[in-house]
A and B are shown apart, each in its own frame.
Chain A
Amino acid sequence: MDDQELERRLAELKETWRIPRDPPLDEIWQAVDAKVFPAQVRRAPSRWVRTLLPLAATLVLGFGLGQVSPALRRGPAANPATTALSESSSEGGAAMRTVGEDAPFVGVATDYLERVTALLVTLAEANRRGGQQVEYSTAQARDLLVTTRLLLDSPQARDPHLQALLADLELVLAQIVRLPARAAAPDVYLIDQALDQREVLPRLREMLAENSTSQP
């Protein structure tokens, strides 16, 4: 047997030799997580619900009743206060530009935030029921993740506050997309941790408040 023949045989063998079954990645992660991040003690599930649910409800109401969207969609001439914020780019409320050509972007962003909120509400409710298996569309979460990335790449999303918020939501959504693959109930603590560490919820609240107060 020459070297070429041996290489050919080894190439064949690599397709069949010691091919592992699906590795228990989640179990391994849990052990790694416990050792690497021991100080970050898991909190009671109710905390996540307490923190997220009121905010989510506020967001849903805000968007649903048009408390935010009209202000976002209003042009600069019609809304000097918002224009001033947009020009200054210094506040969270200016995150979504309100100039005329940005109207489609604002619409997409508003719709996106509504859908993200709905998804977070679904997760929060599942957690409140005691960590039951979450029932939601994987495709929906994946779609939101794609939208997040598109928004991140959009020239209209140039405000650093919005950029940072979208980047953090991307992280959270990426984790949510993985949840259905888990055999056990979803690890909402991890999501809670990410939301908490990155102060996603206070920033969302701030953005909501800024947009609300910018209305005439």
Chain B
Amino acid sequence: MDDSELIAGARAGDRMAARRLYDRHAPRVYRLIYRSVGDEELAREYTQDTFVKAFQRLEQYRGESAFSTWLHSVAMSMLFTGLRRLRRVRAREFELATAADVASPGSESDPHLRDRLQAELERLPVRLRMPVVLHDMEGFTHREISEMLDIPEGTSKARLAEARARLREALAGIVAE
């Protein structure tokens, strides 16, 4: 049974079809969100929000793109909304955590390139980190990313290029050593 049949069933209120659709797509949605936020609790919350919203808005899915692409765009929307909300609520803690992270001598002096790359990746602003996660780690095309993030394809490419440039620059010293 393909996605379109399950979607039709879910639209008609068939919980079993909805569950199968969920089973098919939830693992990747969860992994994508987890990679974006790095927190299991948030990943769980945003995955839940994603599927609630997706099932409630299933009528809006016109089949113009793959269901997975549409679903991931809902996931990204939930992710950014959630992060904005979280930032407002925890503004102070976030600032402190970020400051502590930046000032951490351990990460600055870490000799391992992989660890350093990881630290630099996590330090990138979300708008730049997402194209790296989506393109370089999850294998999405720029077209898919543009649909998911609701940005022009060129913007996706430009952000990825900027992110890579920042990473190269940040790691230049390490490599030179």
Contact (Cβ within 8 A) A31 B31: no
Contact (Cβ within 8 A) B27 A178: no
User: Which one of A7-15, A50-58, A207-215 is at the interface?
Assistant: A7-15
Q: Which residue of B lies closest to A32 (CB)?
A: B51
Instruction: Give the bracket for the number of chain A residues in contact with chain B.
Output: 35 or more
Residues of B within 8 A of A3 (CB): 164, 168
Contact (Cβ within 8 A) B168 A10: no
The CB with the most chain B CB atoms within 10 A, among A7, A18, A21, is that of A18
Q: Which of B16, B26, B31, B35 contacts A190 (CB 8 A)?
A: B16
Q: In the complex the two chains form, what is the Cα distance from A11 to B137 in whole Å? A: 7
The reply on A155 being an interface residue by CB < 8 A is no
Q: CB within 8 Å of A: which of B40-55?
A: 40, 43-44, 47-48, 51-52, 55
Q: Which residue of A lies closest to B16 (CB)?
A: A194
Known A-B contacts A10-B132, A36-B55, A36-B56; A171 and B16 likewise in contact (beta carbons under 8 Å) = yes
Q: Which of B17, B35, B171 contacts A18 (CB 8 A)?
A: B35
The reply on A35 being an interface residue by CB < 8 A is yes
Q: Which residue of B lies closest to A194 (CB)?
A: B16
The reply on B83 being an interface residue by CB < 8 A is no
A104 to chain B, nearest CB (A): 26
* Cβ contacts A1-29/B at 8 Å (1 or 0 each): 11101110111111011101101110111
Q: Which residue of A lies closest to B139 (CB)?
A: A14
Q: Which of B26, B52, B168 contacts A25 (CB 8 A)?
A: B26
Contact (Cβ within 8 A) A17 B121: yes
Residues of A within 8 A of B44 (CB): 23-24, 27-28
Q: In the complex the two chains form, what is the Cα distance from A172 to B19 in whole Å? A: 11
* Cβ contacts A135-168/B at 8 Å (1 or 0 each): 0000000000000000000000000000000010
Q: In the complex the two chains form, what is the Cα distance from A82 to B27 in whole Å? A: 48
Contact (Cβ within 8 A) B51 A28: yes
Instruction: Give the bracket for the number of chain B residues in contact with chain A.
Output: 35 or more
A36 to chain B, nearest CB (A): 4
Residues of B within 8 A of A37 (CB): 13, 15, 18
The reply on B113 being an interface residue by CB < 8 A is yes
Contact (Cβ within 8 A) A17 B175: no
Residues of B within 8 A of A17 (CB): 35, 118, 121, 137
Residues of A within 8 A of B55 (CB): 32, 36
Q: Which of A5, A13, A175, A197 contacts B118 (CB 8 A)?
A: A13
Binding site for B on A (CB under 8 A): 1-3, 5-7, 9-14, 16-18, 20-21, 23-25, 27-29, 31-33, 35-37, 40, 167, 170-172, 174-175, 178, 190, 193-194, 197-198
What are the 7 tightest A-B residue pairs by CB atom distance, in nearest-first order? A194-B16, A14-B137, A20-B34, A23-B30, A36-B55, A32-B51, A18-B35
Give me 20 other A-B pairs in contact (C-beta within 8 A), A28-B44, A171-B20 excluded.
Answer: A1-B171, A6-B168, A9-B113, A14-B136, A18-B34, A18-B35, A18-B38, A21-B40, A23-B43, A27-B44, A28-B48, A29-B22, A29-B51, A32-B48, A33-B15, A36-B51, A36-B52, A36-B56, A37-B13, A175-B20
